[in-house]
Structure 1
Amino acid sequence: MYRNFAIVPRIIFGRGCFAQVDDILAERRSDGGSMVFILDDVHRGRPLEGRIPLRGDDAILHVNVNDEPKTSYIDALVAQIREMLPRLPDGIVGIGGGATLDIAKAVALLLTNPGSAADYQGWDLIKTPAVYKVGIPTLSGTGAEISRTTVLTGPQKKLGINSDFTLFDQIVLDPELLAGVPKDQWFYTGMDCYIHDVESLQGTYINEFSKSYGEKSIDLCRQVFLEDHPDKDDKLMMASYFGGMSIAYSQVGACHALSYGLSFILGIHHGIGCCIAFDQLDEFYPDGVAEFRQMMARHDIALPRQVTVGLSDDEMERMVTVALGLAPLWENCLGPDWQRLMTRERARGLLQRM
């Protein structure tokens, strides 16, 4: 059966379009209602926070993403909103990088679905639509703005809430918001997009839909990371969008599966974790890894090394379990016979290289 998947229905793109957020939200406001703006802590007290169009009982909820988002953190934020407001907000607006956007999506879902965020880690477990939600990225690369996934670390696993209900109702893509991002963070987040493209284009799930978006995205990534362009932020923002669309009808692969294990045990941020893993995957993606190393050299990026040295046997086994639990990713990489090809011993050996 072919997947009948949803996409973000409303998109605005262009330098300065953040100024139109007030008009966009006006259509969704009710009498006596409110909007909750989930803002990455990095913007606290900075000019962007002052530009947020607060009305009435609107609230700003600052979130810390020094650690990967946890299901327990989502549960706490949902409880805070319920205690703060007399009724459901008219909408949730996420402003920040991929982790902040994932938090915003998860909070919007858990406001209308009972239980803990951990209950919904998996595919199509959400039963009730979320409250209205808007995504405004201030980093580009993860594709979180267009993805049907919100990636969370739970008590037992790192796994997304994968659902058509997870998608934003509106995204605001303003390249001006990328100005001033630290170089390492800009690179690691952008590489998440590049690796999405490599894994999608070389996967067994590839089809012309995914290929069309993936080829455009990887071309834009090459322009951003191997060439010099004054509009590189515009290009990276669209690369992230196209990269997210590419994997919507296919999948990522070995790198993302292994990086989930790194994040779950070591708490390594997703973009850095993907880069650490990808650098060791020549046997799966030789051309992509070679080009990735060119990009690292061009931007003078020093990748963390030997991050798995010193792990206990139990920690390594848990890391392997998390990585191998992502069956669709391995099938996209290795085909339907992936379990025979990717044994626990082989996965452990790959992680030990890192």
Structure 2
Amino acid sequence: MDVKKNIAVSNSNKTKSSGYKNFPMVPRVVFGRGSFDQLGDILLPKRRNAEAPVIFLIDEVFEGDDLVTRVPLMFNDKIIFISADEEPKTQQVDVLVTRIREEYSELPSGIVGIGGGTLLDLAKAVALMLTNKGSAQQYQGWDLIEKPGAYHVGIPTISGTGAEVSRTAVLLGPNRKLGINSDFTPFDQVILDPDLTKGVPRDQWFYTGMDCFIHCVESLNGTYLNAFSQSYGEKAFDLCKEVFLGDLPAEESRDKLMMASWHGGMSIAYSQVGVAHALSYGLSYVLGVKHGIGNCLVFQHLKEYYPEGVELFHRMRDKHRISLPTGLCESLSETEMDTMIAVSLSMEPLWENALGASWRERISHNTLKEIFLKI
């Protein structure tokens, strides 16, 4: 993929004293088909005592599924099934934290998230809020978390969001959609078992996979680009092309998309996303559109900013016969449209990555309104 030349590395990755941000990574990861069954052995040394449970937050789609019978429950461990039909919310995090605190006298030995991006972000946020005072909405932003969270494990059951590797827990708050971005957010342990992604509905598989693809396009074409981000982004970009434009056997496709998700998440750890994600945040906040499909709805209209990426996106969509909904924004009130645009414009680091420090000279209220009215 052609990327911009003579790119200036953004100061957002630098610190005042030492020059560059010392970002954390997931310290432990297991990859392989069937690796989910190692979870019990992984958790055992982290169990402090019988009164400090492990809390499993699991997508409710697995309720009654064989996967649940394989969860290594001990002592007073608890499974909480959670719907992933809507984006995760700050209030939802607060309710879960209150429930856990009221039910158990000790801090849990661990929080395990099993599901897609919604469950992984919830698990990260709950682990953080168990050890930090106040409401989750207070920590939406960058580097506001003061204390390490409870031990937390991420197990994705769909590939593409990069939530398993990111330092962000993206949440819908009362006033905005914004992540809890901190050095304490990444998982302590991740289990990547491609077998867990079997049976994902085709549309959902595509939308979530495109989240990864769009991560790569935005990172590789951004002004924050550096060799670290580029190395991960290019690998994920190539893997996405293999998965969505090739004819891979099912097992190989699952393996490669899971690794594309990991590399795509890493590609933005030291850079940033861009225009599609900024607009998707506004779309999600006002209309509740889920992140993956929101990115697709926006990205199809961004040829001006990402011409090669958008052309490839349309080829992938055509190959897999994906039809995107239309007319979502045509009946919005002026207030709703203004709110959608305001939320999108508030994502300043994303705009700066996409268009540089002078991005406001290219982007206006009307620019975004024209794009949204196409959706």
Q: Which residue of 2 aligns with 1:173?
A: 192
Report the Cα offset of residue 288 of structure 1: 0.5
| Mapping for residues 225-236 of structure 1, pairs under 5 Å | 225-230=244-249, 231-236=252-257
| From 193, 205, 210, the counterpart of 1:186 | 205
User: TM-score with structure 2 length normalisation?
Assistant: 0.94
2-structure distance, mates of 1:328, 1:266? 23
| From 9, 20, 41, the counterpart of 1:23 | 41
| Mapping for residues 188-267 of structure 1, pairs under 5 Å | 188-230=207-249, 231-267=252-288
Q: Which residue of 1 aligns with 2:167?
A: 148
Tell me, yes or no, if structure 1 residue 350 matches structure 2 residue 368. Answer: no
Q: Which residue of 2 aligns with 1:79?
A: 98
Q: Which residue of 1 aligns with 2:179?
A: 160
What secondary structure does 2:79 align onto?
strand
What secondary structure does 2:268 align onto?
helix
Residues 194-233 of structure 1: per-residue CA shift (max 9 Å, x gap): 0000000011111111110000001000111001112100
| Mapping for residues 100-179 of structure 1, pairs under 5 Å | 100-179=119-198
Q: Which residue of 2 aligns with 1:95?
A: 114
Give the count of matched residue pairs: 354
2-structure distance, mates of 1:322, 1:338? 16
Q: Which residue of 1 aligns with 2:356?
A: 335
What secondary structure does 2:30 align onto?
strand
2-structure distance, mates of 1:133, 1:219? 30
What secondary structure does 1:224 align onto?
helix
Residues 146-175 of structure 1: per-residue CA shift (max 9 Å, x gap): 000011000100000001111000000000
1-structure distance, mates of 2:36, 2:211? 24
Tell me, yes or no, if structure 1 residue 41 matches structure 2 residue 60. Answer: yes
Give the letter for the 1:118 counterpart. Answer: Q
What secondary structure does 1:309 align onto?
coil
Structure 2 unmatched runs, 5+: 1-13, 15-19
2-structure distance, mates of 1:285, 1:135? 32
Tell me, yes or no, if structure 1 residue 12 matches structure 2 residue 12. Answer: no
Give the letter for the 1:264 counterpart. Answer: Y
1-structure distance, mates of 2:185, 2:89? 16
2-structure distance, mates of 1:113, 1:352? 41
Tell me, yes or no, if structure 1 residue 65 matches structure 2 residue 94. Answer: no
What secondary structure does 1:242 align onto?
helix
Point out 4+ residue stretches in structure 1 off by more than 2 angstroms: none
RMSD of Structure 2 on Structure 1 (CA): 0.7
1-structure distance, mates of 2:109, 2:75? 12
What secondary structure does 1:136 align onto?
strand
Q: Which residue of 1 aligns with 2:316?
A: 295
Give the letter for the 1:201 counterpart. Answer: L
Give the letter for the 1:303 counterpart. Answer: L
2-structure distance, mates of 1:304, 1:161? 30
Report the Cα offset of residue 137 of structure 1: 0.3
What secondary structure does 2:166 align onto?
coil
Q: Which residue of 1 aligns with 2:9?
A: none
